[in-house]
Structures are given as C-alpha cells and as structure tokens.
A and B are shown apart, each in its own frame.
Chain A
C-alpha cells in the first residue's frame, strides 16, 4: 500500500476519533461554550496555518498578506449567504474560489520577485485589499458587515480542517509538491532541472489562498460579524508566526504551534495586563532554543507509523534531512 495513502487513512481515523471525543466533551458541557469557542478558532487558524505552510514552508515563498485572502473569502462567503441565499457549502466554496482567483491575479506579477521584495509586495496587496473593502459601502465599509447567519458548526470546521490537512499533505508528497520543495531549496537548480518554477509558485499560492478563503468563510459564519481590521497586517503576521514556530514545511508542526499559540494568550488571561508581555517573551524563548521551529521539517508521528510497516524506506532519505 502506498505510504501516502496509508497515512491519509490513519490521519482520517485519528481525526474521526478526535472529533468524537471533542464533540462528546462539548455536548456534555465538560468543555463549556468558552472552550468550545477556542477549539473552533484553533481549527480555523489551523486551516490558515497549514495553507500558509504550503506557500512559506514547502515552496519557500515568504508572504505577508495571507489575512487578505482570508478576508476575501470571509466577505465573499458572507455576501453569498446573505444576498444569494446559497447553501453553506456553496458559500464556502465561492469564498475559496474568490480568494484563489484574486490569489492568481496577484501571484502572476509578484511571484517573480524574491525574498523580502516578495514579502513587501504581498504585504502591500494585503493592505490594499483591506483598504478597498473598507471603502465598499455594500460590504459595510469600516463599520463592518453584520447579520451573517451562524452556520459554522464544530463538525463543519473540524472536518474541513482535517480535509485541508490531508489535501495539503498529499500535495506536498506528490510530484508537484516535490517540484515546490525544489523551488524552496534552490530556485536556479530547480529551473536547470527543467522545473517551471513560476508555475509551481503560483500553484502553491493559489491553493494556499483558496484554503485561506474557505477559512475566512468559516470565520465569518461563526462570528456573524466581520470588519476589515480583523484581517490586517497583524493577522498575517500571526499566521506566519504559527508556521515558523511549528517548523517550515511540517504540517503537524503547524497544527501543534497553532494550537499552543491560540491557547497561550487565553491561558494567560488571568495575568490581565501582563498577558501580552508574557506572550512575546515566550515566543522569543522558544525561538532561542528551537530556531528551526517546534518540529523542524519533520512530521510528528511519522516514526510511529513506520514501525508498523517495516522496510518502506523510500522516504527515509527525505525524512533524514
């Protein structure tokens, strides 16, 4: 059996078990509404972090405008439900497609830039998206868009999160994924090997934007009220922090760090004003001791899986990196 397929099944099973446990805990009020809210926000952030990991971690393109694509999805999905009255999955899909489309239009000219220049242009586009939304009255402008029906449930968020992880995991292990990684490792060498680097950069960017749009749709249908400031530069920075903290290219790392970094500020609430002082100090301490991120480029539990199938060494070289 192919390794990717087996891992996909295992992840799916773990996902279902985790879902059953969590929804049991929520139904019995052991996890009250407050905790339930944190769990849902973690799931949304995981979708964002994992999709961003495809762009930053796997393809190696630093972008600082991911929250902009989230906002496009959030607004597009919300408008689809309010104005067009479509069903929830269709609205989410529309949000994702809208974000992916804009991602394509933005990626086409900018992805030929490298490093810091790419970071600053994506940052610029993120800000432009925010300013444009603030100036569109039909979207509520700076006041924000309210009256979005609450359609996001725990089941929706959780399974979309699981599918996002699975899809990106499989993309990363496909031939396209390997091409993306070669762009990260050495763009010139990749090009010399006949890889169309621009194509794979745009592919990663569009897929990442698509999932960010879906996460945005989930977000707007959960909070029922959105405004442009929620998707500013600082949100993009938060998402980059999740990815770097988890480890570049490590999806389980992204999941882990998103969980920790979403819970940490909530956990520190009892410290009131000192909360936002402890949080950055914690970030600095973690980066000092694990500059490569919590997981590095490795995936959690890969070794455990390998114990079950002796002799599948085809990926050993990749993991050993």
Chain B
C-alpha cells in the first residue's frame, strides 16, 4: 500500500511540474518586463491566450506539426506583445505608474474581446493530433508523454533564454538597461528597442506556454489567460520579481502547490491555498524568495 501511495505522489509530482513549467514560462515574461521598466504587464495573461490561439490556427488550418506550431505561436505572441508595448506603454513612459496600469488593463480587455469577437466565447478543442498521447510505463509509473515533452520543451526554452540574456550582446544591453536606464542610454544602447525586444522575448515564452497549456488541458477560450496569468504573476512575485530564476522557481512552486493541494487537501480550496502561501512568504520575506533585500536610501 505504501508503494502505491508513493507512486501516486510521484505521478502528482509530474502533473505539478508540467503545470509549474507552464506557469514559469508565463512568469518569466512578467519578470523580464518588470526588470526592465519596473511595471507589471497586466496584458501578459492575454498574450499567453493569443499565443494559444495562434498555435490553434497553425495546427488546425495549416496542419503544422508540433515544433512549427510552437514557433508560429511564439512569433504571433511576440508580435502581440510588441504591439501592446507600443500602444499601452511607450506613449505613457513618463506618466504615473498607475496610469500605465490602466492602459495595460485596457489592452487586456481589448485582446480578450477581439478574440471573443472572432472566435466566440465557446472553448475550442485543441487538436489531439498535434501531440498524440502515449502512456509511457516506467517503474510502475504511467506517465503521459505529453507531460514529459512539455517539461522538456520548457527547460529547453529557459536554457535558450539564459543563453540570450547572458551570452549575447542583446542580452547584455537588456541587463544594462534593467540596471540603469539612463546610464545605458548614455553608453549608446537604444533603450526603446531593448524594451521592445524584452517584450517580444517575454511574450514569445508566454505564446509557447499558451500552446503547451492548450495541449495539457485540450481546450482554449478567450478568457483562459486570466487565471493562469494571475497565478504566473503571483509566481513571479513569489520568486522575487525582476529575477528570472526566481520566476522559474516561483512557477514550479505554484504548479506543485496547486496540484498537491487539489489532490491531498481540497480541490475547491486549491487557489486559496496557493494565494495563502504567497502571502505568508511575502510577509516573512517581502522581496520574494530570491529577492535581495534593498535598503531604502533617502
């Protein structure tokens, strides 16, 4: 019996990890944008949703296989992200922070309703042929191959991101801009284009997450970005907003907590439990798990 319970635990662990990686991919976008302009991109959850729809079209109308579908979704989401930046953020860069919050929220409502107008509110079934389900039996575990692919794909994307941020010139410019925008501009970095690139990369990851989420839950709808977006946002804050590895850990924690509390505590309270953990962590460590304590200077 004890063995069975252990198997169940491992099984849930894999469920939690695959969900957690999806959250992590979205959370990375939040954290990158925050790191560079110090603002929460409220439309990010909807960029994730738009990515899901781009993937849906690529798979159903163009009949593309998995990897090209993912690339189409990432490209579409990146474009959407840049448009959001150009409309909601760029013209108001010197305005009060809360005004930008409102334009971002407005963009979020706009994206949801544009998709709703084109697609109706009914959920669309994600094509199963995109990534056919196999059950892999391994040491008494039966694992859905799609979950493994989702986990693997996410890890690959995070590695690529780390490469971009730490090994390329663009990445260096991004880090410089996030460190000090004015000094970066003085060093000849085009801050505007760096900000756009940051939005594009973060949105591309969210777009990939949209496709993976569609595969994981096999349906998408215009409002699917709200809750995962909110949880990914929580994950980004949990890990310490502005820090990319923090978003990864935060996403994984959120995914695992949600999955385990659904199975072992109560399915209807799982959201409340996830938020409670966030609040407790923030009260104990206000800058997030990996956040550095900054001392305020007068």
Contact = CB atoms under 8 A, between A and B. Distances in A.
Given A116-B237, A117-B282, A277-B113, 11 more contacts: A56-B98, A127-B230, A188-B296, A237-B105, A240-B101, A244-B101, A244-B102, A280-B110, A281-B106, A284-B103, A284-B107
Interface string B4-26: 00000000000000000000000
B109 A110 contact: no
A121 interface: yes
A189 B298 contact: yes
B163 interface: no
Which 3 pairs show the lowest CB-CB distances between chains A and B?
A: A291-B95, A124-B275, A280-B106
B109 A279 contact: yes
Nearest to A109: B283
Interface in A96-151: 109-110, 112-114, 116-117, 119-121, 123-125, 127-128, 131-132, 134-135
Nearest to B120: A273
A288 interface: yes
Interface stretch (B65-73, B84-92, B169-177): B84-92
Interface of A: 56, 62, 109-110, 112-114, 116-117, 119-121, 123-125, 127-128, 131-132, 134-135, 188-189, 192, 233-234, 237, 240-241, 244-245, 248, 273-274, 276-277, 279-281, 283-284, 287-288, 291-293
A116 B40 contact: yes
Main secondary structure on chain A at its contact with chain B? helix
A132 B272 contact: yes
A124 B110 contact: no
Contact of A128 (B107, B230, B272): B272
Given A113-B282, A123-B230, A288-B92, A277 B110 contact: yes
Contacts of B275: 124-125, 127-128
21 contacts: A110-B283, A114-B286, A116-B34, A116-B237, A117-B237, A119-B40, A120-B237, A121-B279, A123-B230, A131-B271, A134-B268, A233-B226, A240-B102, A241-B105, A245-B102, A248-B98, A276-B109, A276-B113, A283-B102, A283-B106, A287-B95
A291 B100 CA distance: 8
A135 to B, nearest CB: 5
Interface of B: 34, 40, 87-88, 91-92, 95-96, 98-99, 101-103, 105-110, 113-114, 116-117, 226, 230, 233-234, 237, 241, 268-269, 271-272, 275-276, 278-279, 282-283, 286-287, 296, 298
Contact of A291 (B40, B87, B96, B276): B96
Contacts of B298: 188-189, 192
A253 B114 CA distance: 30
Contacts of A274: 117
A105 to B, nearest CB: 12
Contacts of B103: 283-284, 287-288
Residue of A119, A124, A131, A245 contacting most chain B CB atoms (<10 Å) = A124
A141 B187 CA distance: 59
